[in-house]
Structures are given as structure tokens and as C-alpha cells.
Structure 1
């Protein structure tokens, strides 16, 4: 009544097994690609988070700004500017030789560290701390000294932006007092 064909059934089973193994291999390769992509994206997201945090927190704060007054009688312009800086709360180590200072007063000028070289430079001196160019601890204080790019007279104002190597910015306005006495050697800006 019923005829049983065992040869055909065996071939169908082997074909199904081959297709199943192929599907498992394709799924394993796809899973490997997804895991690698997820790992890459996680690493990239972590790096972006660290860089974003540095751009916000790795900045300097200006504790004081002092201008040295021209010692020539009758000349009361500012010949050099000293900015005392320290790390902002939460900031990491800041290399002062990597910062730039943008000066805007009439014309714009960008200052770089004297070690880098160029026409407009500033120097650093450690007041509190071991290294002249690096803010390590929150107690470190360093003095940035620069010469104004143009005459900085009584009543003049300049906008200064300090940008660290990570891109964090600190802005301040320097105001020369309206009158300076001939006996003053320095004034608060």
C-alpha cells in the first residue's frame, strides 16, 4: 500500500543541515560585526565625553590683573600686563604653554607662549607651584606676562579671552583707570 522511500528523505535532511549550518555561520559573522561596531561606538562616546568635560572644566581662572605703568614722566600708559591665574574647580592639569590669549582692543591680536615663538608672546612665572608652565594643584598660582599690542592708555578697555589646550575659555575685561598718578608703578586692571 504505502511505499517508503528512504533515500530521498536522507538527502532532504542533509540539505537542511547544510542550510542550517550556513545560517548559523552568517548569524555568527553578523553578531561579530555588531559587537565590534558597538565596542567602537562605546569607545568613541567615552572619548567624546572626556573631551567635552575638558572643554568645560579644564579652564583657568584669573585671580588678579595688574598693569605696569610707564616710568617715563608724563607717560602714563601700560607697558606690560600681569595676569595671576589658577585652575578652575574640577580642572585637570593645565599646561600653560598650550594656551592662547586673544586680545581685542581696536585690533585683535593672538598671544602664544614664548616657548612656541612668534610676534606676540607671553611668559609664565610660577608664584606658587613647582613648574613654570603647568598648573597641577588647585593651590598653584602662575603669572602670565604680556606686552599690550598697542598703546594702552588711561580709560582704555580690552577684552581678553584665555583658551586652554582643551578648548576651555575664560574671558575678562581689562580696564585702565581713568587717571594714573606719576608715582604709581602698577595699577589694578
Structure 2
């Protein structure tokens, strides 16, 4: 897995109103005048990968009108070379778990509203199927998820049975 882009919003010179994304290749060079924001990019990466210990209240962006950003959003996108992960005792991969975006990449977003542990929310952008019956799967409790699985399984058996009967008739 390789970092392929990094997005910054609401951090120092980066406005909260838009996500600025830095694409990262095999060799990436940041070139600019002093005070252009090169170190800010590395500092934002440091906060993302190592935690808020190196951040302070001055890291929240200040807009031209003097208002301070309400949040910092940092987003790392990783290419997803195929590798196996183990959940409990089952081997799986990120694609099977629906944890890749439409491009097949892993996107991890960190939203910081306060410089406390409770003020940092980290999420993975999941690519869920665009099927109305499955839209709420991630919100279900375990018991309701099992019930839904049984419903879907019944429908699949019925559908398979109808297909089988149609094929035999022909």
C-alpha cells in the first residue's frame, strides 16, 4: 500500500472551504519560496500519521475576515495493492469488505474539531453498493443484519428456483 495523494482543508494556510489535494508519485518534490507552505504540508502529514500531539490551536486556518476554521480535515489516499487482511479468523481483502473507493483506493479521512482525543474523528470512505435494499446495511445491529441476510438468502433461493424452472421448461 502506497500513499498516492494527501488532502488538506482548514489547516494553517489551507482554507476550510475547499480540500487541496497533493498528488504523490514515486518521486515528489515540493518547490516554492520561503513561507509558501511546503513545511505546512509535512506538518499536516505529521498530525495525520502521528496524532495531534504536534498540533496547536494556531494550526486552525484563519480566514481573511478573521474567523477561525471550525475544523481541520486531512485525507490520505492509498493505492490498494492486493494483500490479505485477517478479520477474526477469516482471510479477506479491503475490496471484499467494501473499504475501497470507486477507483479501488483506500481513503482515510481525519476530521479535527478540537485538539483532544474526542475532537478527532477518523473514518474510512466505504464504497457501498448502489442497491436500495442494501443501502442501510452498515447501520444495522448484528441481530438485524442476520435477519436481513436471511431475507436476502430466501429471495436468492426463490430467484434461483424460478430460473431453474424456466431453464427446464425450455
Which band: TM-score by shorter chain? under 0.3
State TM-score, norm by structure 2.
0.23
State TM-score, norm by structure 1.
0.21
Q: Higher relative CO (CA 8 A, sep ≥ 6), structure 1 or 2?
A: 1
Task: Name whichever structure is richer in strand by fraction.
Answer: 1
Larger radius of gyration: 1
